Amino acid sequence: MKQELLLKVENLNKVFTIGSVFSRIRIRAVNNVNFEIGNSEIFTLAGESGSGKTTVAKIILGFLEPTSGRILYKGKDMFELQKEKSNNVLRKEVQAVFQNPFETFNPLRRVSNYLIETVRNFGISEKPEEVIESALNLVGLTWNEVKDKYPSEFSGGQLQRISIARSLLTNPTLLVADEPVSMVDASLRMSIVNLFKDLKEKRGVSVLYITHDLATAYYVSDKIAIMFRGEIVEIGPVEKVLMDPKHPYTMLLKESIPEPDPKKKWTKDIKILTLEEEEYQMKGCKFISRCQYRMEKCKNPVPDVEVDGRLVKCYLYT
Ligand SMILES: Nc1ncnc2c1ncn2[C@@H]1O[C@H](COP(=O)(O)OP(=O)(O)OP(=O)(O)O)[C@@H](O)[C@H]1O
């Protein structure tokens, strides 16, 4: 059965200009990105730090404007919907789950205040405790366990569950979850991603799951896109892409799964930045300097090639 489309990202681009007046460089953090998310589907964006994943998420959530491109949500232009101040549809239906749940909640406010506030702000129910209880039950918690406590009284895993429960209060169709398990103990990561699976299966929720963690991505996703320096280098069903990777970067990523380090993101380490900048500036394949299969023609713009049920941006298959 053909799945109905929820989100369609078309030719998305975002260019950042960085550096001082005298040494300006342009980083195409999102470079002609295309993907689709169906209803009740978990779609993963994976790749090392600085590949543009968060920038894509920020654009979808309306926190950043794209340089060019279009996103259709249920067939309608998302940027037009975002501009309609009186239209609550996107604010209700597209919810974010962030990396660090401790940053989501003010340490001096009871967590329950956030939940009650969300119910009131969206006019969800006259009886907040009832809807909060059922949202908390979905993530394995109860109102009694949560109601009188401050953020510091929860573990990272529990707080991330509460943050997901909060996003469920508005009955969302799409959760945009940017590294939702990276601050959670490794032993509890599976319980968070299992939640996504449950929400997909029982409530038809779709998830854009952004991660470095290919193990949870494999377990939970239907489709996956591997990003490198702003581009999708391989995209397709998770089974095909991760079990039989075709792009040399996907192969490398599978062998050496990098751990995310939020502090590293804005590091001043010149070496990493130089390599990243150089790779971003490549006209052809951005992975060329690290690729064991590189050829002369890889210096030219690379086409997307269909190989065994997925798309690969690589001259090896032309
Ligand atoms: N506001 C900004 N101004 C300038 N450059 C930016 C900005 N945001 C991101 N970038 C640059 O864009 C590139 C992609 O960053 P992005 O955060 O989207 O990558 P990422 O794959 O999400 O990495 P991480 O896993 O560390 O979050 C990086 O080179 C980053 O330095």
Domains and their CATH numbers in the chain: 3-220 (3.40.50.300), 244-256+269-317 (no CATH)
Distance 224 CA to ligand 1 centre (A): 20
The residue whose CB lies within 8 Å of the most ligand 1 atoms, and thus the one to mutate among 265, 273, 277, 286, is 265
Q: Which residues line ligand 1 at a C-beta cut-off of 6 Å?
A: 16, 18, 27, 29, 47, 49-55, 260, 265, 276
CB-based burial of residue 263 (10 Å sphere; 0-12 exposed, 13-18 middle, 19+ buried)? exposed
Q: What is the pLDDT of residue 269?
A: 42
Q: Which helix (H) or strand (E) holds 167?
A: helix 156-168
Distance 203 CA to ligand 1 centre (A): 32
**Ligand 1 atom 11, closest CA:** 29
Distance 261 CA to ligand 1 centre (A): 13
**Ligand 1 atom 25, closest CA:** 49
Closest-lying ligand 1 atom to the alpha carbon of residue 17: 4
**Ligand 1 atom 6, closest CA:** 16
**Distance between CA atoms of residues 60 and 78, nearest Å:** 8
Three-state secondary structure call for residue 155:
coil
Distance 16 CA to ligand 1 centre (A): 9
Tokens of 197: 């699976």
Three-state secondary structure call for residue 87:
coil
**Distance between CA atoms of residues 157 and 203, nearest Å:** 22
CB-based burial of residue 283 (10 Å sphere; 0-12 exposed, 13-18 middle, 19+ buried)? exposed
Point out which residues pair with 26 in neighbouring strands: 17
**Ligand 1 atom 1, closest CA:** 16
**Ligand 1 atom 18, closest CA:** 52
**Ligand 1 atom 29, closest CA:** 50
Q: What is the pLDDT of residue 102?
A: 85
Distance 36 CA to ligand 1 centre (A): 22
For the entire predicted model, the pTM comes to: 0.91
**Ligand 1 atom 12, closest CA:** 29
CB count within 10 Å of CB 230 equals 25
**Distance between CA atoms of residues 124 and 118, nearest Å:** 8
**Over the Cα atoms of the chain, what is R_g?**
20
Closest CA to 59 of 96, 86, 20: 96
Does ipTM surpass 0.85 in this model? Answer: yes
**Ligand 1 atom 7, closest CA:** 16
Q: What is the pLDDT along the chain (318 residues), one digit of tens a residue?
A: 444 799 999 999 999 988 777 778 889 999 999 999 999 999 999 999 889 999 999 999 999 999 999 999 999 999 999 888 777 889 999 999 988 888 889 999 999 999 999 999 998 988 899 999 999 999 999 999 999 999 999 988 899 999 999 999 999 999 999 999 888 888 788 888 999 999 999 999 999 999 988 999 999 999 999 999 999 999 999 999 999 999 999 999 988 755 555 444 433 443 446 788 889 989 999 999 999 999 999 999 999 999 999 999 999 999
Answer yes or no: are the C-beta atoms of 308 and 240 closer than 8 Å. Answer: yes
Largest CA distance in the chain: 66
CA dihedral 130, 203, 200, 94 (to 10 degrees): -70
Label each residue of 239-265 as H, E or C.
HHHHHCCCCHHHHHHHHCCCCCCHHHH
Distance 201 CA to ligand 1 centre (A): 32
Answer yes or no: are the C-beta atoms of 39 and 6 closer than 8 Å. Answer: yes
Distance 31 CA to ligand 1 centre (A): 13
